[in-house]
Amino acid sequence: MREIATAFLTTGGKILILRRSKTESFSGKWGAVSGGIEEGEHDPLDTALREVREETGLLPADLRLLVRGDPYVLHDSQDRVSFIAYPFLFEVTADAKERITLNGEHDGMAWIRPEELDRYDTVMDLYKAVEKVFSADVVRPGR
């Protein structure tokens, strides 16, 4: 089973969500920073930090780890595959927030309160990852 890391960035009570670009899988859907654990990465935290750097341009010095959520199984019914997902929550400074630069994987971003997630067309089971890093009563399943 493939393993992935999902990283939520937060500041001021809001989380960053990113819209997948037209050239990527799940085009137009909103998600968090995420990616597969690569060979040589023995800790999902390393993957999360690499993906944050690749997808936002932020460095580990710009982040403070708040929560390392429990892993969970994520099912992609479209491709009929399952993943083990490792969710993380990082606080970013106001300065770092202003320096976010998206790579080609995403064409939009929004800072939202976790309870607003159900207003967005998200990648599969994104709310489960949010529940792993926030109180489960804050987030309701979205689309």
DSSP string, 27-95: TT-EE-EEEEPPTT--SHHHHHHHHHHHHH---GGGEEEEEEPPPEEEEETTTTEEEEEEEEEEEE-HH
Q: Categorize the per-residue pLDDT at 141 as very low, low, confident or very high, splitting at 50, 70 and 90.
A: very low
pLDDT at 137: 52
Q: For the segment 104-134, what is each residue's pLDDT rounded down to a tens digit?
A: 889 999 999 999 999 999 988 888 888 888 8
Residue type, 108: G
pLDDT surpasses 90 at 54: yes
Q: Which domains does the chain have, with CATH numbers?
A: 2-133 (3.90.79.10)
Mean pLDDT calculated for residue range 29-37? 94
Q: What is the mean pLDDT of residues 12-33?
A: 90
pLDDT of residue 138: 52
Residue 142 has pLDDT above 80, yes or no: no
Per-residue pLDDT tens over the stretch 59-95: 999 999 999 998 999 877 666 678 899 999 999 988 9
How high is the pLDDT of residue 140?
A: 45
Average pLDDT, the chain: 88
